[in-house]
Structure 1
Amino acid sequence: MIKIKLFFHKLIHWEYWPYQVVYLPVYFQYLYYAFRTKSFFFFNASNPTIKNGGFFMESKKEIYDLIPTDYYPKTILIHPNETLNSILEKINIANIIFPLIAKPDIGLRGTAVKKLYNTEELQDYLKKAKFEVLLQELIPFENEIGLFYVKLPNQPGKITGIVSKEFMILKGNGKNTLRELIHQNKRYLIQLKALEEEYKDKLNAVLKIGETINLVPYGNHCRGTKFVDASHEITAEMIESFNRICNQIDGFHFGRMDIMYKSYEDLAKGKNFQIVEINGAISEPTHMYDPKHSIWFGWKELTRHFHYMYLISKNNHKNGAKYLTFKEGVQEFKNHHKHYDTILEF
C-alpha cells in the first residue's frame, strides 16, 4: 500500500520524474548547438579552468584551489591507501576537528557524503571508499542555498536564480518514534531505505516534545531536501557582491554555487557565508524543482540556462578555450561511468 502511495506521489510531482523525461527538450537543443559548434563536447569551454567545464570528472579540490580560501571551509584531499596516522596528521595540520564532512573528490549527486563524528567512523568510511576523498570542516552557518551565476560574453555577471533548501528535520512530540514521524511525510518516506541504513535501530527512538533532528544535513534533492525557489531574494547589491567574488575565481563563467550563510542581508553584502562547492557545466537551475512550479517552468529554465552555456562556451572557444575532441570526450565518458560504478559500490 505504501509503495502504491509513493508511486502516485512521484507521478504527480514532476521533481521525481526520470531525468530522461525532464531533459527531453534539452536533448534537441544540445544536438542543435553541437551542430552549430561542430563539437559534441562544446560545453568543455564553458569554464576553461575546470576539467571538462565541470560537466563530468571534475575534481572538487581543484575547483577549491581556484577559490580564495576565505570563501570555503578548510579542506584536505585523502588518497586511497593512505594510512590512518598520515590522515590524522593532515587533519591536525589543517586544524580540522570532529565532527567533519567526508565526500568523494569527484562526486555523484550527494552519494557517499557523510558527517563523521570520530576517528572510528572516519576509519570505517575510508575502508569502504575506493576513491579520493575530501575531508572538510563543518561550516558554522545553518542556512543553505544554491546560487546560479552566469557571466555572458561582454556583460557583467548576473545571478539567474536562487534555490533555498529545506532539510529533512523531524520535530518530536514525545510519543512517536523517528520511524513513525518519517511515515507522516511522503518526501521523507521516499528516503526510508537510505535512512534505515544510516540510522538502523536509532529510528525507534522517541524525541522529546520540541526536540529536533536533521536526518540528512546535506542540501541534496536526491537525499530528501526540499528545494524552494528563492529567486526573489536577488538584489542589485547581491549581484554586485557576487560579481566581485566570482571575478576572483579564475575561469569561472557558468554554474551553481552551493552556499551556507547566516542571513540574506549579510549574503547580499558578501559576508558571513562559505561556498560548499561550485558545480560547473552540469549545473541545474535547481530553483525549478520548487513543488509550486510546473514542468513547463522547469523546461523553460533548463533551456534558458543551456542557451547561456552555449553562448559562453562559443565565446570562450573564440578566445582560445578548447573543445574536447570526439575521442577525448568518449574516453572521459568511459572514465565517468567507471567512477560512477565505484561510487555506487560505497
Structure 2
Amino acid sequence: MNTFQRLLHRPFFIRLLNWEYWPFAVVYGPILPVYFLLAARARALFFFSASNPSIETGGFMMESKKKIYDILPAGTYPRTMFFALPADVSAVVHAVREAGFRYPLIAKPDIGAKGMGVRKLDDEAELARYCEESPMDFLVQEYIHFEKEAGVFFCRMPDETCGRITGIVRKEFVKVTGDGIQTIRQLILKEKRFILQLQALEQMHSGFLDAVLPNGVEQVLVPYGNHARGSKFLDDTDLVDAELQDVFNTLCTKIPGFYYGRLDIRYESWEKLRKGEAFSIIELNGAGSEPTHIYDPRHSVFYAWNEIIRHWFWLFRISRANHKKGIPYMSFAEGRQMFRDNTAFEQKMEQLYV
C-alpha cells in the first residue's frame, strides 16, 4: 500500500469522501426547509406523531420496543422477554432458562439508540453480566439463525386497504474471510468500512482479533445489520414485485395503527420471503425510520435527498389523514421534551456502550 492509499485509509478521509458517514446535520441540513414547509402546512412542527397512532410519538424516538412487539402478529417476531430495572440477576437467568430459550440470545435496551447496547449472548454468564451492566429496562430475545437481513419500508394511507413497499435495503454484516496468514485485525484494516469500527471491534472481541483464520473461513464480527456498527447497506428496491407487495401488505395491515415505517427482518432466502415464509421481524421502526436503502455506496447524496424528501411527503400525508380522523399532533412542549429526553438518553448510552 503506497502513501496515497494509506492516506485514504485514515478514518478522517474515509468519512470525508463517503457521504454515508457524514454527520446527521450535514446530510439533513440542506433539505430541512422542505420539512419545515410540510410542518407549516400541517400547522404542527411535530406532525409525524400522528403517523402511527398505536406507537408512542408515532415511532419517531423514545418509543418502547416491547410495546411495539406487543402489537405485532403472534409468530412474526422472535420470542422476547422484557425485564424492568431493578432486575435481579439470578431471577433473570432463571426466567430465561424456564422459558426454554437456547443460546445464543440477543439482548437490547427497550429504547433503541443506533444499535448501542445490543449484544449477542452466548451463555448464562454473559446474560448475567448484561443484566448487571444494563442501565435501563431491556429485552432478551431468541436469536434468529436466518443468515440474511433486510429492511423493508412500507407506507399505507389510513383509508386504503393496500399499501406499498417504498424501499428495500439488504444488509451485509461485518465479516472477514481468512487467508491462513493475516490476523483478523490485519484483515479488518484492509476494508475501509471496518476501519471505522476497529475500536468497537476491539472492545467486543478483545484478543480474538489477533487470531489467524484458516484460508477461506469466514468470521462474522458483528452479527446484526446496523449501519452505525459497520454493516454495508445495498439497495434491493428493484426486486419488489406484486407477490412481495401482497406479503407485506397482508402483514402490515394486521399491525393495528401502523401506516409508516421500516420492518427490519431476518430471512432464509428471497424465494421464501416472496412467499411469506421463513422470516422474522427483528424490529419495527415508525416515524423516525430512514429509507436506509439510500446508504448503498452506489448512491449519491443527491439521490439520498430525493428519497428522504419523498418519504417525508408520505409521512406528511399519512399524518394529516390520521389527524383529520381525530389523532392529535404532539404539542410543541411535548416535542421539545421528547428531544431533550432523547439527547440525555443518547449521551448516557454513549458513555456506557460502544
- Name the TM tier (shorter chain): over 0.9
The answer as to 2:259 corresponding to 1:261 is no
One of 291, 309, 333 as aligned partner of 2:297: 291
The answer as to 2:256 corresponding to 1:250 is yes
Partners of 1:26 and 1:46 lie apart in 2 by 21
Aligned letter for 1:275? I
One of 308, 311, 319 as aligned partner of 2:317: 311
One of 37, 54, 63 as aligned partner of 2:42: 37
The answer as to 2:120 corresponding to 1:86 is no
Local SS of the residue matching 1:69 = coil
Equivalent in the alignment of 2:3: none
The alpha-carbon distance between structure 1 residues 2 and 110, as it changes in their structure 2 partners (threshold 3 A), is farther
The answer as to 2:109 corresponding to 1:104 is yes
Equivalent in the alignment of 2:188: 182
Q: Please show how residues 1-346 of structure 1 align to structure 2 within 5 Å.
A: 5-155=10-160, 156-346=162-352
Partners of 1:16 and 1:265 lie apart in 2 by 32
Instruction: Structure 2: give runs of 5+ residues left out of the alignment.
Output: 1-5
Partners of 1:337 and 1:65 lie apart in 2 by 26
Whether the 8 Å CA contact 1:74–1:94 is kept in 2: the answer is no
Aligned letter for 1:62? K
Whether the 8 Å CA contact 1:42–1:314 is kept in 2: the answer is yes
Partners of 1:123 and 1:91 lie apart in 2 by 11
TM-score norm. by structure 2 comes to 0.95
The alpha-carbon distance between structure 1 residues 38 and 79, as it changes in their structure 2 partners (threshold 3 A), is same
Aligned letter for 1:289? Y
Render the CA deviation track for 1:304-336: whole Å, top value 9, x for unaligned: 001100000000010111111112222222222
Render the CA deviation track for 1:206-247: whole Å, top value 9, x for unaligned: 111121110101100010000000112111011011111111
- Deviation, structure 1 residue 4: 6.7
Aligned letter for 1:234? V
Partners of 2:324 and 2:348 lie apart in 1 by 37
The alpha-carbon distance between structure 1 residues 204 and 4, as it changes in their structure 2 partners (threshold 3 A), is closer
Partners of 2:273 and 2:8 lie apart in 1 by 41
Aligned letter for 1:165? K
User: % of aligned pairs identical?
Assistant: 45
- Deviation, structure 1 residue 272: 0.7
Whether the 8 Å CA contact 1:98–1:116 is kept in 2: the answer is yes
Partners of 2:236 and 2:308 lie apart in 1 by 17
Partners of 1:196 and 1:150 lie apart in 2 by 39
Local SS of the residue matching 1:85 = helix
Partners of 1:46 and 1:150 lie apart in 2 by 10
Local SS of the residue matching 1:215 = strand
Partners of 1:245 and 1:56 lie apart in 2 by 23
Partners of 1:204 and 1:334 lie apart in 2 by 42
- Deviation, structure 1 residue 3: 8.2
Q: CA RMSD in A?
A: 1.4
Local SS of the residue matching 2:71 = coil
Local SS of the residue matching 2:10 = helix
Partners of 1:277 and 1:203 lie apart in 2 by 30
Whether the 8 Å CA contact 1:99–1:115 is kept in 2: the answer is yes
Whether the 8 Å CA contact 2:156–2:260 is kept in 1: the answer is yes
- Deviation, structure 1 residue 153: 4.5
Whether the 8 Å CA contact 1:173–1:210 is kept in 2: the answer is yes
Aligned letter for 1:88? V
TM-score norm. by structure 1 comes to 0.97
Local SS of the residue matching 1:70 = coil
Render the CA deviation track for 1:286-313: whole Å, top value 9, x for unaligned: 1111000111100000000011000000
Whether the 8 Å CA contact 1:50–1:58 is kept in 2: the answer is yes
The alpha-carbon distance between structure 1 residues 286 and 184, as it changes in their structure 2 partners (threshold 3 A), is same
Whether the 8 Å CA contact 2:171–2:225 is kept in 1: the answer is yes
- Equivalent pairs counted in the alignment come to 346
Partners of 1:109 and 1:334 lie apart in 2 by 17
